[in-house]
Amino acid sequence: MPSPDTAPPSHGACTPHADQAPSAARSPGHGGPERRRRALPISEVSAGMLVRRVDVRPADVVFLKGILEASEGLGTLFAERGGELVVAVPPDREKDLVELLDDLVREIDARVHPEVEAGRDR
């Protein structure tokens, strides 16, 4: 008689339980309730933040995003169309934002719009 560890698996031992089987009721890829599909308005996600609109060449969007990500949480970048961007930072980082925007104007010819009230889209 073979030892238990070399015995062939018993019938049904490898089949999943009914609660583990895929279900058509789940949303694809997430296994939970269906998520909202539309983006939140910029005014909602930037509420309480200092907001500046900045225009750059479309090719410079990734460059600017990389600078923001490397700037230890300076702010968040939202792209509306092509190079039309919104930068939102906490109010206590205004000095850092002003320095960054001044550099962008000099280095990549960015156009910075006047201050926008937080929570207000154009």
Taking only the tens place, the pLDDT of each residue in 27-39 is: 455 555 666 678 8
Distance CA 51, CA 53 (A): 7
- pLDDT at site 28: 56
Average pLDDT estimate for 41-68: 92
Beta-bridge partners for 87? 52, 77
Could you tell me which residues come within 8 angstroms of residue 45 by beta carbon, excluding any fewer than 6 positions away?
76, 78, 88
The structural domains of the chain, with segments of one domain joined by +, span 42-112
* Averaged confidence pLDDT in the chain: 78
Distance CA 87, CA 108 (A): 16
Question: Quick check: pTM over 0.85?
Answer: no
Average pLDDT estimate for 49-62: 95
The CATH fold assigned to 42-112 is Alpha-Beta Plaits (3.30.70)
